[in-house]
Amino acid sequence: MKLSNINCRFCFLTWILSKTLDWEGFQHFAKKTEVGEIIVRFEKKGFKLKALKLVQVERSFAEKHYEDLSSKPFFAGLVEYIVSGPVVAMVWEGKGVVLTGRKIIGATKPAEANPGTIRGDYAIDVGRNVIHGSDSVESAHKEIALWFPDGVVEWHSSLHPWINE
């Protein structure tokens, strides 16, 4: 499936980071933060899941993903965090999903994130803020191409007319 088939005005890439190094740790994290619960937040809103995978990210891949932040003092720690365990990468589609998705995720600093947002509910430290979301349609295009080079899944939801005007 070619990315050009997607209306990327509505594309959004997000992932959930594990907190510890091993799989057991990830399961603990998943239990603590309920990865499924996080997915449900996007589903309940009415967004459509277009791709999902669990991956152990290579350091070079993490550096590529965060290349725009390479001059930041926290860059090394950020890369360390993302490679420290498996990552759940997802593509969500829907009207305004980039903007709304970032509201669902909450402010970068969990202390400033409202309760009810993912970071407000599941995180404390900025360097462990659990989840990432593309900050613009342009970066969503870039990130989807990086994370899902084979494309995403095109499917039709029977709920579409009940959610969208």
| Contacts to ligand ATP by CB under 6 A | 69, 74, 77-78, 108, 126-127, 129, 132-133, 135
Catalytic, 132? Answer yes
CB of 14 to ligand ATP, least distance (A): 8
CB of 22 to ligand ATP, least distance (A): 21
Q: What is the rounded distance in angstroms from the CA atom of residue 78 to the CA atom of residue 87?
A: 13
Which is nearest to 7 in space by CA: 135, 104, 161, 152? 152
CB-neighbour burial class of residue 3 (10 A; exposed 0-12, middle 13-18, buried 19+): middle
Q: What is the rounded distance in angstroms from the CA atom of residue 92 to the CA atom of residue 82?
A: 20
CB of 109 to ligand ATP, least distance (A): 8
Q: What is the rounded distance in angstroms from the CA atom of residue 46 to the CA atom of residue 10?
A: 12
- Which residue, 1 or 76, is less far from ligand ATP as judged by CB? 76
- Which residue, 107 or 159, is less far from ligand ATP as judged by CB? 107
Q: Catalytic pick from 132, 141, 156, 160?
A: 132
Residue nearest to ligand ATP (CB): 108
Residue 107's identity, in one-letter code, is A
> Which residues are catalytic, by number?
132
